[in-house]
Amino acid sequence: MLAPVTQTTDARGRLVAAAQELFAARGVSATSPRQVLAASGVGQGSLYHHFPTKHDLALAAVGATVDDALAESLQALSAEAPALERALAYLGRPRDALAGCKVGRLTSDQAVMDDEAVRTVVGTYFARLVDALARVLAEAGLPDADARDRAHAAVAVVQGGYVLARATGDPDAMRAAVRGMAALLRAEAGR
Partner DNA sequence: GTCTATACAACGATAGAC
Partner DNA sequence: GTCTATCGTTGTATAGAC
Asked if residues 90 and 77 have their Cβ atoms less than 8 Å apart, the reply is: yes
* 110 lies in the site for DNA, by CB under 7 A: no
Q: Is 156 in the site for its own copies (CB under 8 A)?
A: yes
Instruction: Measure CA 190 to chain center.
Output: 31
With respect to DNA, which residue has the nearer C-beta, 59 or 64?
59
Cβ–Cβ under 8 Å, residues 165 and 98: yes
Q: How far is the CB of 58 from its own copies (least distance, A)?
A: 15
Q: Taking the complex as a whole, how short is the minimal distance between the CB of residue 50 and its own copies, in angstroms? A: 26
Query: Which listed option, DNA, its own copies, none, makes contact with residue 54 (CB within 5 to 8 Å by class)?
Result: DNA
Q: Nearest CA to 137 among 89, 68, 69? A: 89
Residues numbered 49-78 forming contacts with DNA, rule: CB under 7 A: 49-50, 52-55
Q: How many residues touch its own copies (CB under 8 A)?
A: 56
CA distances from 11 to 48, 66, 67 (A): 12, 21, 20
Rounded Cα–Cα distance for residues 74 and 67 (Å): 11
Stretch of residues binding DNA (CB under 7 A), selected from 10-18, 102-110, 128-136, 166-174: 10-18
Backbone angles phi, psi at 56, to 5 degrees: -65, -40
Q: Is 114 in the site for DNA (CB under 7 A)?
A: no
Site for its own copies in 21-80 (CB under 8 A): 26-27, 29-30
